[in-house]
Structure 1
C-alpha cells in the first residue's frame, strides 16, 4: 500500500507542467508596465522624439519667416462652432484686428468675430526638406489669407508654435550629444578604475575628483565666455556640447566604479580570470552588460539636467546663437520684464521644458524601479 501511495504521488508531481523562467528583459518590462507614471513618461518622451524628428511637418509656418504686420500677436484659441448642418469638427480661430494707440504707442489686437480661419489637415504650406526629400505637406496648414498663430508671434512676427517645435530638435540634440559623450567617457573610466585598481585607479580617481571639484555654474560661464564670438552658430553649438560633456562624465564614472568593484569578485568574473580570459573580454563581455541597466537609468535622469543647463545658458545669451533655435534661446526674448508684462506668451516655451523634464524624470524613475530586483 505504501509503495502504491508513493507511486501515485510521484506521478502527480510529474504531471505538473514545468514553466520556463522568464528572461530578465521580460521581468523588467512586466515590472515597468505596472507603473503608470513610468508609462506616461515613456509616452511623453516618444512624443517629443517624434516632434523633434518631424518638426517641419508639425510646424504650420516657416519658423524663420518674419511677418511685419503681426508683431507680438497674442495666441489664438482653437474653437468649434455649430452650424445648420450640425457641429463642425474642424477647429477654427478668429483672426485678430490690430489697432495702434497713439498715446501709449502700443499695438493692441482684438478678435474679429465676423471671420473664421479654419485648419486644413495635411494641407500644403511652406516647403521643407527631410532626408533630402522636399515636401510641402503639414499636419495643420493655415489659410494663407488668414493668419493663425496658436501660440502667438514674437517681436519679428515669427510663429511661436513653429519655433517651439523646431527648438525641440536642437535642445534634444544637445542633450543627446552631451549624454552620449558623457556616458562613453564615464563608463570607460569607471570600468577601468574599478577593475584594474592600483595606480590606474588612483590616477583616474584623482582626475575624477578634480572634475567633480569644479564649481559647475561659474565654470560653465567662464568656459562659454571664452568661446570665439566670430565663430559660426554650429561651431558654438558643438563647442558648448563639448564643454558640457567634459564636465558631466565624472559623476557617472564614480557610480560605474562602485558597481565594478562589487562585480569583479563574483564567481563568473573570477572563473573567467582563472581560465585566462583577457582583460578586454572580461570588461566587455562580463562587467559591462551587468552595469548597463544602471547606465540606462542614469541616461534618462541626465538628459533633463542637460536640457535645463542648455536652456539656462541660452537664456543668458551665451549658449545657442541665432539663427539656430532652441528652447532657451526662445526664452531669451522674455528676460526683459517690460516685454514679459506686455507679452506673457513669450514664456510659453517654459511649458515645453517642463513637459520634457517631467517625461524623462518619470521614465527614469520607472526604469530604476523596474530594474531593481528588490522593488515591489
Structure 2
C-alpha cells in the first residue's frame, strides 16, 4: 500500500505549539483564547472574576456606607431588600427599602430590628454620600444611596452597626491582593528554583532538591500557626500584612519547583537546547529563550489554581484570629464575627462573606481548568 508524503514541515524546535486545523497566520495566544472560550464554565468563571475585581478596585464607589462608620442604633440590623412593589401602595418606578422598626424578643427581651413595611425610603443612583479618596482624588459619588441620607444595609450590619456589604467589598480587595502577592512570590521563586535545578543538574540539583523536600516535609497548618503566633502583635497592620504574605509564600513555592524541575530536565535534553549549548549560547540565554517559555503555560495554570488555596488559607487563619488584624479588613476577618454559633443562629447574615469567598474560589478554579485544557498543545480543537 502506497503512502503519500506529507508536505507539511514540522515546527521549529522551541516554537509555540500549533494546531493542524488552524490557519497558518493564527498566533499561539489566539489559539489558546479560542480554545479557552469554548469552555462555558471557564467563561463564567472569568466573568465572575472580572466582577469581583471590579467591585474590589472600585469598592468605595459601590459601598453605600463608610465601612468603618459605627452606629449602635443599627446593631445587628437585618438586610434591607430593594423592592419595587408593596401591598399597600403597589408598584413603584423607583426601588425602595423599608426602614428598621425596633421591637423586642418576647423570650429574651432583646431589641430586634425588623423592616417597617408601612414606610418607604426611595433609592437614588450616583448620589453624593460619604467622602473617600481614590487614587489621590477626593470623591463622594456612590452607585446607590438612600434619598434621606440614612445608611443602606444591603447585607445587614454587624455588632457595632457597621455595614456588612461595604466591609465585604473592602475585605475582598485585601483578600484578593494578598492572594495575588503570595502567588506572585511563590511562582517566581518556584519557577527560578525549578529551572535552575533541572537545567544544571548534578550536585546543584541534588542540593536544591533536598532543600525543596525539606520545605515539603513541613505540615503547613501547624507551621503557619507557629509562625503567625510569633508575629509582633504591636506592629502596624500593614507590617503584619506583609509578614503574612511572606509566611504564606514560604511553603507554596516548593511543589511548583518540583514540577518545573521535571519539565526543565526533559527540555534540557532536547536537540535545540543541545544545539544552543554547542553554539556557545550562555546559560542565561538558554534559560530565558528556550526553557522558560516552554514551562510558562504550566506555571500560569498552577498560579490560577494556587490563588484560591491562598484565599482559603487567609480566610481560615483570619477566622481563627491570627491573620489580618484591624484596622485592615479581610473576608476571613469578617468571618471571625461568625465564630459564635449563637450569634450566627440569631443573625445568619454574618455568614455573607462566605458567599464572596466561594465565588472567588470557584471563579479561579474554573479559569484554571479552562486554561489547563486550552494550553495543551495536543488538545483537540473542535
Show the counterpart of 1:26: 30
Partner of 1:189: 193
Structure 2 counterparts to residues 212-227 of structure 1, below 5 A: 212-227=216-231
Unaligned runs of 5+ in 2: 1-21
TM-score by length of 2: 0.90
8 Å Cα contact 1:41-1:363 kept in structure 2 = yes
1:270–1:144: structure 2 CA closer, same or farther, 3 Å change rule?
farther
In the other structure, the counterpart of 1:314 is: 318
Aligned positions of 1:157-236 closer than 5 A: 157-236=161-240
1:106 aligns with 2:110: yes
Q: Conserved in 1, the CA contact under 8 Å of 2:194 and 2:259?
A: yes
Give CA-to-partner distance per residue, 1:195-235, whole Å, 9 cap, x none. Answer: 00011101110110000000001111110101111111111
> Which residue number in structure 2 is paired with residue 75 of structure 1?
79
Q: Distance in 1 between matches of 2:260 and 2:151?
A: 54
How far 1:131 moved relative to its partner? Answer: 0.8
Which has a greater percent of helix?
1
CA distance in 2, matches of 1:103, 1:130: 47
Distance 1:155 1:352 in 2: 20
* TM superposition score normalised by structure 1: 0.92
Instruction: Say which of 285, 289, 293 aligns to 2:293.
Output: 289
The CA distance in 2 between the partners of 1:146 and 1:228, in whole Å, is 40
How far off is 1:120 after superposition? 1.2
CA contact (8 A) 2:78 2:156 kept: yes
Q: Is the contact between residue 64 and residue 151 of structure 2 (CA under 8 Å) also seen in structure 1? A: no
Range that drifts further, 71-80 or 92-101: 92-101
Q: Which residue of 2 aligns with 1:88?
A: 92
Contact 1:304/1:356 (8 A) holds in 2? yes
Report which stretch shifted further, 300-309 or 105-114. Answer: 105-114
Match in the other structure for 1:41: 45
**How many residue pairs end up in the alignment?**
359
Q: What is the CA distance between 1:111 and its match in structure 2?
A: 1.8
Query: Where in structure 2 are the equivalents of 1:200-349 lying within 5 Å?
Result: 200-349=204-353
Aligned to 2:156: 152
User: Is residue 95–residue 146 contact of structure 1 (8 Å, CA) maintained in 2?
Assistant: no
Cα displacement (A) at 1:82: 7.5
Q: Which runs of 5+ in 1 are unaligned?
A: 1-17
Equivalent residue, structure 2, for 1:138: 142
- Name which of structure 1's ranges 178-187 and 140-149 shifts more when overlaid on structure 2: 140-149
Secondary structure, counterpart of 1:69 in structure 2? helix
Pairwise CA RMSD of aligned residues? 1.9
> In the superposition, relative to structure 1, how do residues 144 and 317 fare at CA in structure 2: closer, same or farther (>3 Å)?
farther
**Aligned partner of residue 151 in structure 1, secondary structure:** coil
Alpha-carbon distance between aligned partners in 2 of 1:40 and 1:255, rounded to the nearest angstrom: 29
- Report the more deviating stretch, 146-155 or 349-358: 146-155
Q: Hey, what's the Cα distance between the residues in 2 that align with 1:303 and 1:165?
A: 18
1:86 to partner: Cα distance:
9.2
Q: 1:206 and 1:71, CA in 2 relative to 1: closer, same or farther beyond 3 A?
A: same
Structure 1 residues 312 and 371: CA distance shift in structure 2, 3 A: same
Range 301-310 or range 37-46, more displaced = 37-46
Secondary structure in 2 matching 1:27: helix
User: Which residue does 1:52 correspond to in 2?
Assistant: 56
Compute the displacement of 1:87 (Å). 4.9
Offset from partner CA, 1:228-275 (integer Å, 9 cap, x none): 111111111111110111111001101111111111122221121111
User: How far apart are residue 22 of structure 1 and its match?
Assistant: 2.3
Give runs of ≥4 in structure 1 deviating > 2 Å. Answer: 18-22, 85-90, 99-103, 142-148, 373-376
Distance in 2 separating the partners of 1:169 and 1:120: 25
Return the alpha-carbon distance in structure 1 between the equivalents of residues 253 and 149 of structure 2: 52
C-alpha distance 351-292 of structure 1, shift in aligned 2 (>3 A):
same
Q: CA deviation at 1:99?
A: 2.2
Shift of residue 193 of structure 1?
0.2
Summarize deviations over 1:157-191 as a string: whole Å, max 9, x none.
Answer: 00000000000111011101100000110000000
